[in-house]
């Protein structure tokens, strides 16, 4: 099995911790290791025999520093893209490096920056998905919803599983980040899973789907990584979800509760760290809170002291102290866009 890890994202919704040259997959949120290192160690533990990482040209050296820390003899290859064009071209670059692999080789496609707390449950879902992939399905790992979340994409599964594939369901439809009422109905129905962006499939099947739905990428793949990179400027920016998954008639889903979190916004830290009795979530070692409730703190060097405040987001980095209404944590991208307009590259 080959694991393809997509590590080119920028994660700017987690600014100011996540930056252009230190995106969230390189930030150390859990157990003193970067999200990327945790992801790679998890996949090695799961038994993948080869790892292919796809990142940006400007992040390649930083990613190499992470892989150099791994204690493994498993082959690891780092491929880089000239510019970010979403997941379909990034995955196409990885596929172009797999042309000599047997047709039935299983591929696992994983984001680099997701947290998974329960490895045994994750491993179980991988096994079920692998069984479906061997039979020709493009199989996704879905996450059993824990709430009516509007910030995630959803996968609608059929009411009945495949007869010969326990826990594997046909995919009925996809929905990207629904409004609150629709998210509530999805949550209550029991027929929907959060889309974790994880795929398990055979190499030949995925290549066939590229040939059918993304023929320009497929044609470049056949020339290998150098040719694929050479044609980069001609590719449209498109996700694998939109480019293939939403069109394919080979989609299946395995759902599970394996402690998944994509850390897509600051409020997601509440899923990684336990809140105190006043519902404050604190990441750091030196903070004091008095008569303050439902605040989220990320502390680095300075002592953070909060008094008589509620629903605040406070993030301290080496050069920025960021304070916002916690309910507006999803709006951080607007700040990043404003910084770009003001040419504040020093803060990006």
Low-confidence stretches of the chain (pLDDT < 70) are none
* The two structure tokens encoding residue 10: 């920028």
Question: Are 269 and 286 a contacting pair, CB within 8 Å?
Answer: no
Q: How far apart are CA 239 and CA 153, in angstroms?
A: 13
Q: Beta strand pairing status for 304-307 and 106-111?
A: unpaired
pLDDT of residue 56: 95
The whole-number pLDDT of residue 3 equals 98
- Residues 34-88 have pLDDT tens digits of 999 999 999 999 999 999 999 999 999 999 999 999 999 999 999 999 999 999 9
Q: How many CB atoms lie within 10 A of CB 181?
A: 10
Bridge partners of 156, per DSSP, are 173, 192
Task: Tell me the C-alpha distance between 237 and 214, whole Å.
Answer: 12
* Average pLDDT value over all residues in the chain: 93
Q: pLDDT value at position 141? A: 96
Collect all residues with Cβ–Cβ distance below 8 Å to 341 and sequence separation of at least 6. none
* Boundaries of every domain in the chain: 2-261, 271-347
Q: CB burial class (10 A; 0-12, 13-18, 19+) of residue 105?
A: middle
Q: Does CATH place domain 2-261 in 3.90.550.10?
A: yes
Distance CA 111, CA 87 (A): 10
pLDDT at 272: 83
Grouping H, G, I as helix, E, B as strand and the rest as coil, residue 200 is strand
* Reported pTM: 0.92
Q: pLDDT per residue over 7-20, tens digit each?
A: 998 778 899 998 88
């Amino acid at each position: 099995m080959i694991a393809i890890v997509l590590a080119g994202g920028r994660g700017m919704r987690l600014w100011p911790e996540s930056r252009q040259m230190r995106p969230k997959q390189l930030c150390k949120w859990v157990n003193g290791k970067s999200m990327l290192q945790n992801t790679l160690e998890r996949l090695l533990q799961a038994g993948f025999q080869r790892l292919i990482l796809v990142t940006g040209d400007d992040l390649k050296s930083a990613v190499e520093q992470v892989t150099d820390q791994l204690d493994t003899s498993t082959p690891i290859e780092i491929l880089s893209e000239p510019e970010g064009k979403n997941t379909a071209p990034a995955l196409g670059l990885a596929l172009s490096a797999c042309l000599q692999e047997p047709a039935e080789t299983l591929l696992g496609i994983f984001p680099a920056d997701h947290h998974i707390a329960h490895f045994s449950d994750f491993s179980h879902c991988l096994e079920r998905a692998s069984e479906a992939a061997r039979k020709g399905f493009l199989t996704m790992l879905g996450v059993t919803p824990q709430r009516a979340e509007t910030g995630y994409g959803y996968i609608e599964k059929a009411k009945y599983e495949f007869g010969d594939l326990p826990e594997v369901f046909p995919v009925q439809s996809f929905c990207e980040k629904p409004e609150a009422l629709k998210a509530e109905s999805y949550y209550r129905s029991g027929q929907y899973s959060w889309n974790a962006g994880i795929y398990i499939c055979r190499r030949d099947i995925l290549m066939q789907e590229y040939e059918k739905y993304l023929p320009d990428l497929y044609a470049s793949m056949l020339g290998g990584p150098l040719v694929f990179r050479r044609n980069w400027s001609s590719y449209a920016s498109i996700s694998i979800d939109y480019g293939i998954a939403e069109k394919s008639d080979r989609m299946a889903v395995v759902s599970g509760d394996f402690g998944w979190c994509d850390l897509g916004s600051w409020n997601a830290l509440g899923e990684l760290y336990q809140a105190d009795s006043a519902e404050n979530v604190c990441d750091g070692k030196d903070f004091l809170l008095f008569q303050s409730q439902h605040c989220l703190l990320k502390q680095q060097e300075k002592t953070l002291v909060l008094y008589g405040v509620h629903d605040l987001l406070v993030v301290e980095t080496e050069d920025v102290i960021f304070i916002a209404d916690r309910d507006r944590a999803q709006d951080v991208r607007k700040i990043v866009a404003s910084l770009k307009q003001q040419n504040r590259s020093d803060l990006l």
